[in-house]
Structure 1
Amino acid sequence: MDGFASLLPKNIYDIDKVEELKKLDRNILVSLLPELLVFIQDTNWPVAPGVLEILRTFPNEIIPYVLDILSSDDDNWKWYVLHFLVIELPKESRGQFQEYLTRVAENPTANELAEELDEIAKQILETL
C-alpha cells in the first residue's frame, strides 16, 4: 500500500479523488480496500456514496476487512457497513457473515441493541 496512499481521498470531502479512484485498475484498488472502508464510517460524508460504489464491486475481496470491522467495538461503523454495504452484496458474499449476523440477531449486546444491529442482522439473514 505504501506507494498508493496518495491515491486515497485526503478527507471526507475529497469527492474528486473518489472519482479518480473509480478509473484505477482493479489490482490497485484491491490494495486500497481496507483504507477505503474507513470512508464509510459515516455514510453522510460526501465521499461515502462513491466509496460504497467502489467497495460493492469487490464483494469477495472485502469480506476479511468487513469481518474485522464487525469484530471491532465500533457499533456505529458496523451499522453503516451492514445497512449500506453488506445488505447490497451478492447472496454468496452476504453468506460469509452468517455467523456474525446470527449471533447479533439472537444474542445482541446492549450496545448492539442500542444501534439496532439486531434488526439489520435479522433483515440480512432473511435474504440468505
Structure 2
Amino acid sequence: MDVIENISSLIEKLSWNLSEEEKEDVINKLQYIKDEDLHLLVQPISKDYWDGAAETVIRLGYPRVKSILPGLLEWIQDINWPGAGEIAVFLLEIGDPMIPYVKDVLNQHSDDEEWVYRIFNDLIDHWNTLQILQIQAELIKISQEKANDLSALRILLTHGIYAKDVVCEIIQRKKDVIAFELKELHDTHPEIDCEALHKEFFNQQPNVIKQFHEHNKERFYICNSISKRQEVLREIEIFTAEFLTS
C-alpha cells in the first residue's frame, strides 16, 4: 500500500462515531502527512468526517497548512458545515497571511453574498486597522454594491478610512435609489396587493399551493422584489441609528 492509500485510509477513520481514543490515534498519525497530500483533509469524503478533518488541520497548524488556506477559506462558506466554526477561529488566529486570500475572494466572488458575509463576520470584523488598509480598495468596491455593502461601510467608517459625512452621503444615495425602485414597482404594478396575495396563498389547501404559486408566479416575483427593497431600507435605518446618529 503506497503513502496516498495510507493517508486515505487514515482519513476514512475520522468519522464522527470514532471513539476519542481512536480519533486521537488517527490525528496523531496524520501529523506526518506530506505537504502534497494536505488537500485530502479539506472537507473529505462526507460531512461525517469533517469535524475530525478540521481538528487534524488545526492540530497541524500554520504555516504547515499554508498550501490549503484557499480551501479552508471555502470551508467557512456555510457556518453550519461540520468543522466550519473551528476552522473560522483558526483562520482568524493566522492573521496577516490570510489577507491575500481574503482579497482574492472579495475581488472574484463579491457576488457570493453568504460567503462574503461569513468572511466579514468571522475575519474582517476582527482585524486591526493595518490589516483593513490592505483590503481598502476591495471594501470601497463592495460598499458601492448591493450585497454586504453596509458591512463594508461600517468597516470603512470604524477604521477611519471614510469620514461620517462621506458615509452619510453614500447611505442617502442608496436610500434614494431604493425609494425610486420601490416607486417604480408600485407605479408599474398598481393592481398587485402583496398583503392580500400572501393571505390568499396561506389560505390555500395544501394540495393546490404549488399550483396557486405557479399561476401567480409573476405577482409573487414583484412582491418579492418589493419586500427585498423594504428589508434593505430597514437595514439602512438600523445602520444609521447605530453608526451615524450622534
1:31 is matched with which residue? 67
Query: Higher Cα Rg: structure 1 or 2?
Result: 2
More RCO (CA 8 Å, sep 6+): 1
2:77 is matched with which residue? 41
Q: Distance in 2 between matches of 1:25 and 1:79?
A: 25
Q: Distance in 2 between matches of 1:80 and 1:103?
A: 18
| AA in 1 matched with 2:121 | H
Q: Distance in 2 between matches of 1:65 and 1:35?
A: 10
Q: CA deviation at 1:54?
A: 1.0
Q: CA deviation at 1:42?
A: 1.4
2:107 is matched with which residue? 71
Q: Identity over aligned residues, as a percent?
A: 27
> What TM-score do the two structures reach when normalised by structure 2?
0.45
1:3 is matched with which residue? 37
Does residue 121 (structure 1) correspond to residue 152 (structure 2)? The answer is yes
Structure 1 contact 22–54 (Cα < 8 Å) conserved: yes
Structure 2 contact 92–122 (Cα < 8 Å) conserved: no
Cα 1:94–1:21 change in 2 (3 A) is same
Unaligned segments of structure 2, at least 5 residues: 1-34, 160-246
- Number of residue pairs matched? 121
1:26 is paired with a residue of what secondary structure? coil
2:53 is matched with which residue? 17
Q: Distance in 2 between matches of 1:77 and 1:35?
A: 13
Q: Distance in 1 between matches of 2:128 and 2:66?
A: 18
| AA in 2 matched with 1:4 | L
2:86 is matched with which residue? 50
Q: Distance in 2 between matches of 1:88 and 1:54?
A: 13
Show CA shifts across 1:75-94 (max 9, x none): 33112111221112233212
Structure 2 contact 57–65 (Cα < 8 Å) conserved: yes
Cα 1:25–1:100 change in 2 (3 A) is closer
Cα 1:50–1:25 change in 2 (3 A) is closer
Aligned CA-pair RMSD: 1.9
Q: CA deviation at 1:95?
A: 2.0
Q: Distance in 1 between matches of 2:67 and 2:132?
A: 21
Q: CA deviation at 1:59?
A: 1.6
More helix by share: 2
> What TM-score do the two structures reach when normalised by structure 1?
0.81
1:42 is paired with a residue of what secondary structure? coil
Q: Distance in 2 between matches of 1:50 and 1:60?
A: 18
Unaligned segments of structure 1, at least 5 residues: none
Does residue 102 (structure 1) correspond to residue 140 (structure 2)? The answer is yes
Show CA shifts across 1:10-57 (max 9, x none): 145511221122211422122221110110111222221111011012
